[in-house]
Amino acid sequence: MYALMTQLELVLLLLLLAFGWTAGGRAFRLVYSGSGKLLRRKASGLWICLLLVTALALALLADIAWMVRAYDPVYWQDRLFLHAPLILLPAGAVWIFAAPVLLRLRRAAGDAGEASPQPEARRLAVSPRLIVPFQLTALGALAALYFTFMPPVAQRLAEVAIPLCLLPLASAALWMRHARRARKLGAAAEPPVYRRWRQTLLHLSVVAVIAAAAGSGLTLAAESSRLPAAMSMMAGTADYGGGSAEASGHDHSGAHAPVHGAGTVSVTELTGPSEGEPDRRFELIAQRTTVRLGSGRTVEAWTYNGAAPGPELRMKRGELIEVTLTNRDIEDGVTIHWHGLDVPNAEDGVAGATQNAVMPGDRHIYRFRAEQVGTFWYHSHQNSREAVQKGLFGPLIVEPEDSPAFAPAADITVLTHRWNGRLAIGLNDGLERRTIPAGTAVRLRLIHTDDWIRQPYRLTGAPFRVAAIDGAELHEPDELRDARLVLTTGGRYDITFVMPEEGPVLLSAGDQGKVGLLLSPGDAAAAPVPDIPPPAADFDPLGYGSPAPTPFGPASRFDREFTMVLDNRLGFYNGRFEQLYTINGAVFPDTPMFMVREGDLVKTTIVNRGAVDHPMHLHGHHVLVLSRNGVPASGSPWWSDTLDVTPGDTYEVAFRADNPGIWMDHCHNLTHAAIGMTMHLAYEGVVTPFTIGGPAANHPE
Ligand code: C2O
Ligand code: CU
């Protein structure tokens, strides 16, 4: 609804600009009417404009009032205190100043008939009181539009102050111009003639002056947005979330050496176990490969081990894992980030923060203990937007230590991605059929890796449960039927069901059943494709399952409280004009850096004021969802590592700062991250020797 109301505001503002502009032009040309009759008719036309402009202004105010009623101030304070006056004041001026003149004008023009208008009518028609208010409605709408695309933020007061100062100046200039014109035309003996070319020339020169001023401003902005050749990840402004900046008497006895206080710790020291024979070894070789989709289409992919997606890494909880990454021929360099698995910081695989990108011919060894059970994935975190889109990713599954070997037929990873725009599960861009005996307990591990697409899934043919979200098991999940599941980029759902006697069961990626898995207890090849009924509802984790104890909750005392306001803004990033996606009004490296100390209990409020959804992903930690839009989470504890924050949503989440390091916290729509929608969670005292850019050419996004 929020997105709808903001879009409505945008449309109404554009209409107001258009009608205000037209009305201003009509008012300006009144005096050139050749006859009293014509003047009268045009004045009547202007009444219609006046009513239209008023209606638009009122609709805008209603839209804003609706937001004020339904949402927190963060969503509407700029609208109420900035947009509303910019709309209301000119609309009021039209009624106070222009409308009376218009009334008198109609009367004065009425007697003339076919003859040219009376001098009194002409005098009224050029009155600035009549013309300028109409022009101001357009100017006000323009200013409100500007503030829609450049929402005001405290750090950049000039962006509000300058246009706000320009407005009265522009109004005064308009007034003076029309007053002069009124003196000239009002005194002239002859009815004035409209000289179109003169007007056009005048308009063009005004436009040229404005364009020149704007152009130089834009060039300046473009230049100042250029990123330095090398910079530290820790360039942001520190935000201590209400905690003190200095190490106080906190006594946190964690497993790690305390990292605060006098000394500093380098991320390179925050490794997994460096000693010990690993329980499992994996070799991943990054290489370019041509892969073939199920339909036969080929894709030039970037792969691990020549496979896209990369090989499934399966392990058991508690095992020591060693992964050797070798880069064969990915010139941009590669890393591996274990998305959702909360490994020690040095193993996190972020180029420029925890390591240097691995260049062709080089290798890097990751060692960590798999501490969480669940469904995860791995991907390169060097140039990740392009790397993930091209295929440098794969599934990672951690099984419980005591689990019997899963029957592979019943434990199925369903990884959805778009290859050159074609949706596929793995590489299968059609329907895959499998036979599964009736009575088998099936777990489907949905992983969605595709950028900036909220991927819907439908399961038809059996009741099912969402057993886990982002790798974390849910407590007593309810049975669902015909629910629609929507996964955000980077998110995971595990769904479980028992294969019914009567098949088949269809898992459809998308709503149409064209891409999916057809599971049948009998001969899968012969099974008919079931129809997908209309969805009962979209699955919502907020009240799903039943509550269970959590280590902290909404009533806990938090050591740090942070706010992340997500929004859009037009601007430059590294010299290019973009629709920017901002965190607290800024893009990296100007985004804040949330500072914590080991042991802190942290609460973050995430607000999406913008127009598109942002799956927010914090590395190294899982957050517990406390509430959404003021409604407390009431179902199973909902732990997330990739939280889909849609427009108009306010989430409160909490986590324990128990994994020292410097952690990326970014939007997993990697196209957003690539233009600055990233920031960091940093533990006090932790430093990194790595840089973004520089000789190592690290570009995490
Ligand atoms: Cu899956 Cu920082 O990423
Ligand atoms: Cu985003």
Give 537 Cα–ligand 1 centroid separation in angstroms.
29
CA distances from 209 to 22, 174, 212, 213 (A): 22, 15, 5, 6
Give 450 Cα–ligand 2 centroid separation in angstroms.
13
Instruction: Determine the Cα–Cα distance for residues 32 and 199; give it in Å rounded to an integer.
Output: 13
pTM, full prediction: 0.91
pLDDT-derived band at 116, boundaries 50, 70, 90:
confident
The phi and psi torsions of 155 (rounded to 5 degrees) equal -70, -20
- For the CA of 377, the closest atom of ligand 1 is 1
- Mean of pLDDT values over 565-580: 94
Instruction: Determine the Cα–Cα distance for residues 669 and 677; give it in Å rounded to an integer.
Output: 9
Give 151 Cα–ligand 2 centroid separation in angstroms.
17
Q: Are strands 280-292 and 320-327 parallel, antiparallel or unpaired?
A: parallel
Contacts of 694 (CB under 8 A, 6+ apart): 229, 230
- Secondary structure of 236-303 in the HEC alphabet? CEEECCCCCCCCCCCCCCCCCCCCCCCCCEEHHHCCCCCCCCCCEEEEEEEEEEEEECCCCCEEEEEE
Contact yes or no for 414/424 (Cβ under 8 A): no
Instruction: Determine the Cα–Cα distance for residues 598 and 374; give it in Å rounded to an integer.
Output: 25
Give 700 Cα–ligand 1 centroid separation in angstroms.
9
Ligand 1: residues whose CB is within 6 Å?
337, 339, 379, 381, 490, 617, 619, 664, 666, 668
Nearest ligand (C-alpha, residue 617)? 1
Reported as a single tens digit per residue, the pLDDT across 549-570 is: 999 999 999 999 999 999 999 9
Alpha carbon nearest to ligand 1 atom 3, residue = 339
Instruction: Determine the Cα–Cα distance for residues 357 and 9; give it in Å rounded to an integer.
Output: 45
Contact yes or no for 352/233 (Cβ under 8 A): yes
Q: Of the candidates 675, 641, 670, which has an alpha carbon nearest to the alpha carbon of residue 655?
A: 641
Q: What is the pLDDT of residue 257?
A: 39
Q: Tell me the helices (H) and strands (E) count for the chain, helix number first.
A: 11, 36
Contact yes or no for 621/560 (Cβ under 8 A): no
Q: Does residue 509 sit in helix, strand or coil?
A: strand
For residue 696, the 8-state DSSP code is T
Give 337 Cα–ligand 1 centroid separation in angstroms.
7
Give 274 Cα–ligand 1 centroid separation in angstroms.
24
- Mean of pLDDT values over 11-20: 96
Nearest ligand (C-alpha, residue 580)? 2
- Mean of pLDDT values over 620-640: 97
Contact yes or no for 510/438 (Cβ under 8 A): no
Give 672 Cα–ligand 2 centroid separation in angstroms.
5
Reported as a single tens digit per residue, the pLDDT across 168-193 is: 999 999 999 999 999 888 777 777 88
pLDDT-derived band at 106, boundaries 50, 70, 90:
confident
Q: What is the pLDDT of residue 190?
A: 74
Residues pairing with 579 in the sheet: 570
Nearest ligand (C-alpha, residue 611)? 2
Instruction: Determine the Cα–Cα distance for residues 92 and 681; give it in Å rounded to an integer.
Output: 48
Give 531 Cα–ligand 1 centroid separation in angstroms.
36
Instruction: Determine the Cα–Cα distance for residues 52 and 22; give it in Å rounded to an integer.
Output: 11
Q: Of the candidates 234, 490, 291, 282, which has an alpha carbon nearest to the alpha carbon of residue 384?
A: 490
Instruction: Determine the Cα–Cα distance for residues 247 and 8; give it in Å rounded to an integer.
Output: 49
- For the CA of 350, the closest atom of ligand 1 is 2
Give 330 Cα–ligand 2 centroid separation in angstroms.
26
The share of the chain scoring above pLDDT 70, in percent, equals 96
- For the CA of 339, the closest atom of ligand 1 is 1
E-assigned strand segments in 18-148: none
Q: Is pLDDT above 90 for 258?
A: no
The percent of the chain in helix, strand and coil, each rounded to the nearest 5, is 30, 30, 40
DSSP string covering 420-480:
TTEEEETTB-SEEEEE--TT-EEEEEEEE--TT--EEEEEESS-BEEEEETTEEPSSPPPB
Return mean pLDDT, the chain: 92
By the 10 Å C-beta count (0-12 exposed, 13-18 middle, 19+ buried), 277 is classed as exposed
Reported as a single tens digit per residue, the pLDDT across 289-335 is: 999 999 999 999 999 999 999 999 999 999 999 999 999 999 999 99
Torsional sign, CA 174, 175, 178, 184: negative
Element (H, E) at 313: strand 313-316
Alpha carbon nearest to ligand 1 atom 1, residue = 339
Give 199 Cα–ligand 1 centroid separation in angstroms.
56
pLDDT-derived band at 255, boundaries 50, 70, 90:
very low
Give 665 Cα–ligand 1 centroid separation in angstroms.
8
Locate 217 and state its tokens: 């401003």
Reported as a single tens digit per residue, the pLDDT across 407-456 is: 666 899 999 999 999 999 999 999 999 999 999 999 999 999 999 899 99
Q: Does residue 129 sit in helix, strand or coil?
A: helix
- For the CA of 340, the closest atom of ligand 1 is 1
Residues with CB under 5 A from ligand 2 (ion): 581, 614, 667, 669, 672
